[in-house]
């Protein structure tokens, strides 16, 4: 699908049930990952904030990710998600920092819109059936382009948090090796499970452990975490964030 700023709407409208973007929603997903040759416990807390940033003429909303390995912070970052008139959720930017021993070590990726080796795409289509063709998810600088394609639709899947019907299973990976992982998307919830495949370098396995809507104070804290990350991004990645206008909260 061609990117056209005129086709996008307010991202807080939240019209894609398979990838909710309502501010205040928070997911806790846990499983294992590989650190060197060791398999260790892995947890990801994902929060939809109310931080809005305009990218390439399109309003986006920041989704915050905070990862821990063996109880220690390993990554923090955000994706900037946009919503088009058809309900497709796009990814138009992102920023991710790596940590070791609780300390920042490096920036893994930073991009805002097209250019600088980055390309934007659809993270989660509004409608997917067995015949939906492969779609372009996006490309961060210095990374290979990612794509998605359906594996199964309408299946029942149980995870520690709950059981879900009408789950869509999407295979996601880079263009040269799309069989990186299978992600399970449930209506009204989003990603509930991740199963690494042969092409996966990290072998991250996780499933949904909790899904809540934060209080106004909790939302404010998550949104401030995004604004703090952006402030650091202007230092670590000035070529991307240095001249970008500050993001603002929607409320």
pTM of the model: 0.94
Domain 5-239 has CATH 1.25.40: no
In this prediction, residue 199 carries a pLDDT of 55
In this prediction, residue 160 carries a pLDDT of 96
Helical H segments across the chain, by residue range: 216-236, 238-241
CA distance 226 to 12: 17
In this prediction, residue 139 carries a pLDDT of 87
* Contact call for residues 149 and 170 (beta carbons, < 8 A): yes
pLDDT digits (tens, 9 = 90+) for 48-102: 999 999 999 999 999 999 999 998 999 999 999 999 999 999 999 999 999 998 8
In this prediction, residue 178 carries a pLDDT of 64
DSSP helix, strand, coil percent of the chain (3-state; round to 5):
10, 55, 30
In this prediction, residue 143 carries a pLDDT of 81
- Classify burial at 245, counting beta carbons within 10 Å of its beta carbon; exposed 0-12, middle 13-18, buried 19 or more: exposed
> Any idea where the domains of the chain sit in the sequence?
5-239
Q: Which residues of the chain have pLDDT under 50?
A: none
């Amino acid at each position: 699908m061609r990117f056209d700023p005129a086709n996008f709407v307010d991202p807080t409208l939240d019209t894609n049930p398979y990838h909710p973007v309502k501010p205040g929603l928070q997911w806790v997903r846990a499983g294992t990952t590989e650190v060197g040759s060791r398999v260790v416990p892995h947890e990801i807390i994902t929060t939809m904030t109310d931080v809005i940033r305009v990218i390439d003429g399109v309003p986006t909303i920041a989704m915050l990710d905070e990862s821990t390995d063996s109880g220690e912070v390993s990554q923090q970052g955000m994706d900037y998600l946009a919503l088009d008139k058809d309900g497709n959720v796009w990814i138009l930017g992102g920023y991710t920092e790596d940590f070791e021993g609780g300390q920042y070590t490096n920036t893994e990726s930073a991009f805002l819109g097209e250019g600088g080796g980055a390309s934007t795409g659809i993270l989660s289509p509004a409608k997917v059936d067995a015949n939906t063709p492969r779609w372009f998810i996006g490309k961060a600088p210095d990374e290979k382009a990612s794509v998605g394609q359906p594996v199964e639709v309408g299946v029942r899947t149980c995870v520690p948090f709950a059981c879900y019907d009408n789950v869509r299973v999407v295979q996601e990976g880079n263009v040269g090796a799309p069989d990186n992982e299978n992600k399970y998307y449930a209506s009204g919830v989003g990603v509930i499970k991740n199963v690494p495949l042969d092409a996966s370098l990290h072998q991250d396995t996780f499933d949904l452990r909790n899904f809540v809507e934060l209080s106004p104070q909790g939302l404010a804290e998550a949104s401030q975490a995004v604004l703090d990350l952006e402030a650091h991004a202007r230092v670590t990645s000035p070529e991307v964030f240095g001249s970008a206008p500050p993001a603002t909260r929607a409320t």
